[in-house]
Amino acid sequence: MGAQTPSTRPPAMQIESNLLQLMRGLFYPASNVVFAPQTDNPADIKPAPGKDPAMATDPLESTFGGWQAVENAALTVADGANLLLVPGQKCANGVPVPLSDPDWTKFVQGLRDAGLKAYQAAQSKDQDKMIEVADTMTKACANCHRKWREKRNLADRCK
């Protein structure tokens, strides 16, 4: 293999969102899909009559809906956790995410593990397993939220 040239080198990672935007755009919607089987069987969720599933804004009602949506959302959480470790990521208040804090990496790994556990449970199409894994995911999210998000002032977050 030869040395990489500028034209063959992969592009550098770039951060376009802050942590709040990442949470609201990626983790919040994906986790809601993972939590849905606690009350509704994804196999029974269908698009409203006359609605094109390719245009659905609810992943559970989309072309790739039902249990497949739950599997995809769980993998989104697991793989999305990697974005929390990209240098340069900042909180909504402009403070860098606490990459050097050992709890940060531990909690990110917990989120990744919860996503993978949810994926395995979704593959089984067993709602009882999804109820169990929802608790795991809730705890993984709460670990980080308690330490960094649950601050009265936005300026104090991520410190």
pLDDT digits (tens, 9 = 90+) for 79-129: 999 999 999 999 999 999 999 999 999 999 999 999 999 999 999 999 999
In terms of residue numbers, what domain contains 118? 19-40+59-156
Cα(30)–Cα(137) distance, integer angstroms: 11
pLDDT at residue 1 above 70?
no
Which pLDDT does position 159 carry in this prediction? 83
Specify whether the CB–CB gap between 54 and 64 falls below 8 A. Answer: no
Q: Is residue 13 part of a domain?
A: no
- Per the structure, the count of domains in the chain is 1
pLDDT at residue 63 above 90?
yes
Q: Is residue 12 part of a domain?
A: no
Q: Is residue 147 part of a domain?
A: yes
Q: Is residue 51 part of a domain?
A: no
Mean pLDDT of 129-150: 94
Q: Is residue 53 part of a domain?
A: no
pTM of the complete model:
0.89
Per-residue pLDDT band at 3 (split at 50, 70, 90) = low
- The per-residue pLDDT for range 13-45, each reduced to its tens digit, is 889 999 999 999 999 999 999 999 999 999 999
105 vs 81, 89, 101, CA distance in Å?
Answer: 10, 14, 7
Q: Is residue 1 part of a domain?
A: no
The CATH number that applies at residue 142 is: 1.20.120
Q: Is residue 64 part of a domain?
A: yes
Q: Which stretches within 25-144 are classed as H helix?
A: 28-35, 67-80, 102-124, 127-144
Which tokens go with 151?
Answer: 């601050």
Per-residue pLDDT band at 8 (split at 50, 70, 90) = confident
Q: Is residue 76 part of a domain?
A: yes
